[in-house]
Amino acid sequence: MNTLTDDTPVVDLGLRFDNSYARLPDRFHARQVAAPVAKPRLIRLNRALADSLGLADGLDEADLAAVFAGNAVPRGAEPLAQAYAGHQFGNFVPQLGDGRALLLGEVLDRDGRRFDLQLKGAGTTPFSRQGDGRAALGPVLREYVVSEAMHALGIPTTRALAAVTTGQPVLREGLLPGAILTRVAASHIRVGTFQYFAARDDQAAIALLIDHVIARHYPDLAAAPNRALALLEAVMERQAALVARWLHVGFIHGVMNTDNMAISGETIDYGPCAFMDEYDPATVFSSIDRQGRYAYANQPVLAHWNLARLAECLLEQMDPDQEKAVAMATEALGRFADLFRGYWLDGMFAKIGIAAPAEGDNTLVQGLLDVMKDGRPDYTLTFRALCDVAERPDETGPVRNLFLGMEGIDAWLSRWSARLATDGRAPAAIASAMRAANPAFIPRNHRVQQAIDAAMSGDFTPFHLLVDVLSRPFDDQPENMALTTPPEADERVLKTFCGT
């Protein structure tokens, strides 16, 4: 593996690096630089994110392409591949790690906040497990589009700073153009990071990792009497809120393995992710999820399962008496369902215009979902159309026409209208609040695929348009309304793929 030497090309990006993860012991990571690529070319730089991180203005595009392809290292970086393990579809793998990613280092942004800077698709590492360590253009563009859309939707997520083509192919189902994504995250520490050391019974490393995570993500827990238990509870809180937000917008992660659950509470590792078109809680897109383990409605169940695996790693740090530690963890995990349901209901109330929930509102939410399950309307369009009905109660046609049958939705609309009439706010105010909770634009699977297909032929215009439109998902954009429409029969995307 290549290591950082005095001969490694270095470019000053003006970023302030402070690499705390690199200061952890060697068993946490493997130090190396990326394998150079043939002909890097910058596809897109996320200028707003770059500015917030402190990236210098006026940098040469060739220098940017070289850094974001791994042909040069930013000054102050200490590249490394992180070690972690994980349960993949329920099966434990004791060593996974960054098999195609390199953490360049940690950047302090203009406000002093700390972010990881990572290259994804940068070549082999000691954790590559016979893979090539590279990424194809399609998955890189998919993650760029979807992660930035999630950010605009207000959902905690890793972000895309840059995408480059490499000028050399990768072999997947055939030869495909190679690309590399530069990803920004609060950190890339996962449930699987704790599992890596638990599998080796390395309690000293787990203690170090708890200290590192608390200092970085949960500083208010520094004085907690039981730091391991407090950390479990804090991570659980963030995951409950995160997965609830996924469900609010119809998002399906696709691979909720423990190595894909970030301790920071961010959405991480966009592989075969997708957004529902027609509402169906059993929806699955991932080509590798043949049993529906990570279906849309299963996501909170799997989040709880993953958190139980984290708890197992922390038991010895909670209490040397295993029986006491198990009791503590079990009690904490027992609160997840109520936590999740609280966050989910809060978001669903906002989506249907209820500002002050009252008795019976829970059944109103569930009643709509039951009608939607039978009527199979488009999930996103249904909630956006309800915004208009809240403002003009007599104009129900745009909502009713989304359903296969009218009887169920007519009865629900009647109950809902009567409930909103007790709110006390003007219809326009209710509608405005609802539009802030219900996006008009999501990364529809067929539109993402169309952008990828065009890019494979050298045309990145649809990709750039999609990124720009999705940066304002709650705004009416009349000129881009075509991007709100569900797929025609011949446009439907039935399977999405991981890209590894």
pLDDT digits 0-9 by tens, 443-491 = 999 999 999 999 999 999 999 999 999 999 999 999 999 999 999 988 8
- Cα distance between residue 30 and residue 99, in whole Å: 11
**H helix runs in 421-497, sequence order:** 427-435, 445-456, 461-470
pLDDT surpasses 90 at 1: no
Inter-residue contact 86 to 93 (CB < 8 Å): yes
Q: What is the pLDDT of residue 271?
A: 86
160: helix, coil or strand?
strand
Burial class (CB in 10 A: 0-12, 13-18, 19+), 421: exposed
- Cα distance between residue 325 and residue 209, in whole Å: 19
Burial class (CB in 10 A: 0-12, 13-18, 19+), 301: middle
Active site residue 338: no
pTM of the model: 0.96
Q: What is the pLDDT of residue 495?
A: 78
Residue 297 lies in a domain: no
Residue 393 lies in a domain: yes
The number of CA neighbours under 13 Å toward the Cβ of 70 is 35
- 301 Cβ contact partners less than 8 Å away, ≥ 6 residues apart: none
- Structural domain for 181, as ranges: 10-188
- Residue-wise DSSP of 58-70: T--HHHHHHHHHT
Q: What is the pLDDT of residue 458?
A: 96
Domain end, chosen from 169, 188, 207, is at 188
Report CA-CA distances (Å) from 122 to 31, 36, 80, 209.
Answer: 13, 8, 11, 26
When the pLDDT of each residue in the chain is averaged and rounded to a whole number, the result is 95
Q: Which residue has the tokens 């423990």?
A: 258
Residue 418 lies in a domain: yes
pLDDT tens digits for range 269-310: 998 999 999 999 999 988 888 888 999 999 999 999 999 999
State how many domains the chain has. 2
Beta strands in 262-366 (DSSP E): 274-275
- The active-site residue, picked from 116, 259, 289, 378, is 259
| DSSP run (H or E) holding 176 | strand 175-185
Residue 341 lies in a domain: no
Residue 344 lies in a domain: no
Domain end, chosen from 137, 166, 188, is at 188
In the structure, what pLDDT confidence band is assigned to residue 2 with cuts at 50, 70 and 90? low
Residue 179 lies in a domain: yes
Domain end, chosen from 398, 415, 435, is at 435
Residue 245 lies in a domain: no
Burial class (CB in 10 A: 0-12, 13-18, 19+), 137: buried
pLDDT surpasses 60 at 398: yes
Q: What is the pLDDT of residue 463?
A: 98
Q: Which residue has the tokens 């488009």?
A: 378
Report residue 28 CA to chain centroid gap. Answer: 24
Q: What is the pLDDT of residue 22?
A: 98
Q: What is the pLDDT of residue 7?
A: 78
Residue 482 lies in a domain: no
